[in-house]
Amino acid sequence: MAEKRGRKGIISVCTVLVVAAIVAAAALRARPPLVPVVKVAREDLSARISSNGKVEPISPAIARAGFPAFVSKVLATEGQTVRRGQLILTLDAADIRSQLAQARADLITAQTDLNNARAGGPPDQIAQLEGDLRAAQLQVASLDRAGKALQSLLAQHAATQDEVSQNQVSLARARANLQALEAKKQLLAQLAASRVEGASLRVSQMQDTVRSLEEKVRSATVIAPASGILYSLPVRAGDYVKAGDVLAEMADLREVRVRVFVDEPDLGLLAPDQPVEVTWDAKPDHVWTGLTGQTPKQVVARGMRSVGEILCSVDNDHLDLLPNTNVQVQILVAQRRGALAVPRAAVRESGGQHFVFVFAGQRVYRRDIAVGIASSSKYEVLQGLAEGDLVAEPVEQELRDRMKVRPLEAD
């Protein structure tokens, strides 16, 4: 009997505890959720585009090998300051100089052929032919005069018919010889005229060859075109280089540019002369400043990104921002003084409409707003809120219009 009463007591106690837990849980569920709220206030806002970029010299001088060759001498070191006209290195150009000498000789031959063609033929042939023509003309004229004299003498019975006939035969032969020489001169002129175009083309080709070889010979001696920094010198004496290989890169590095890769959605915010801040992981405590240049005119693929490339000029007076380094860039695209600001986390969006939950009278109320520029943490509010309004920040429980909440106001 006593055992039964003990069991009933235990059951009663457990029942009371369960009921109490249920009541407590229900009470907890019935309490409004705790929601952080912040006060809308005025402050200075800056909208920035953050991206990455690569440093480039503004006006680099890049020397390339004009022909395959061995590097003969290297007279400078990478990183040094060079003066305009200073010798940097030389290539072995003996073979190119030999080719140039032969090409110049071939050019003289081609120019001689062209001059002969334009003159009607080789000078010696023309001179010989002109001499033969003058002699033939004189012979014809002489025989013609003699024939006329013999005809007169024949009429006076002072000459015989045989003498007249012999003169006529000789005159006919002389005239035939003269006609043959004139035909030969005409044929020579025609042949020469037909060769002018080909000879002119050969002269042009040989001139191009000579110019090309002269340029190669000049390129074998690399000098600094202007004073600056020799920031790249990838070759050493004895190295073999191919045509087009980079031999040296020089530039004035006091002012460089940064090629910034801006994601497509941010391109509409860009404009010329916007302030730029550049940082480099190798010197985390240093910031370089500059300005944006012309806005991108196309979008290109860069890895998995679709970007526009904008060139920004950057001051580099201390020469510590090196070419080809990868940097981080922030572009200031807009700035507001005393803007009405609200945390980005408090702003929701639905169907293109921005809205917040405003806390008033122990409840939150949905309110549509218009936003302006955005910093990394705040939105500028153009319409829908007033200074001093309290807006709710996100919580685990989804907020609803007119929902009752307990405010947790930020300090």
- List, run by run, the mean pLDDT of 10-residue segments along the chain (411 residues): 56 56 49 91 93 92 94 93 94 94 93 80 70 79 81 79 82 80 68 73 92 94 92 94 94 90 93 94 92 91 92 89 92 93 93 94 94 91 94 90 87 52
How many CA within 13 A on the CB side of residue 170?
15
Domain count across the chain? 3
Question: Collapsing DSSP states into helix, strand and coil, what is residue 306?
Answer: strand
Q: What are the C-alpha distances in Å from 398 to residues 108, 245, 342, 403, 408?
A: 92, 63, 19, 10, 16
Which residues constitute the domain of residue 88? 60-92+220-251
Give the domain CATH number at 227. Answer: 2.40.50.100
The reply to whether 88 falls in a domain is yes
Whether 126 and 195 share a structural domain: yes
The reply to whether 8 falls in a domain is no
The reply to whether 399 falls in a domain is no
Which contacts of 43-46 are long-range, i.e. CB under 8 A and separated by 24 or more positions?
Answer: 43/338, 43/339, 43/341, 43/378, 44/335, 44/336, 44/337, 44/338, 44/339, 45/335, 45/336, 45/339, 45/341, 45/373, 45/374, 45/375, 45/378, 45/380, 46/332, 46/334, 46/335, 46/336, 46/375
Whether 85 and 111 share a structural domain: no
For the whole prediction, is pTM greater than 0.75? no
Question: Collapsing DSSP states into helix, strand and coil, what is residue 158?
Answer: coil
Give the domain CATH number at 327. Answer: 2.40.30.170
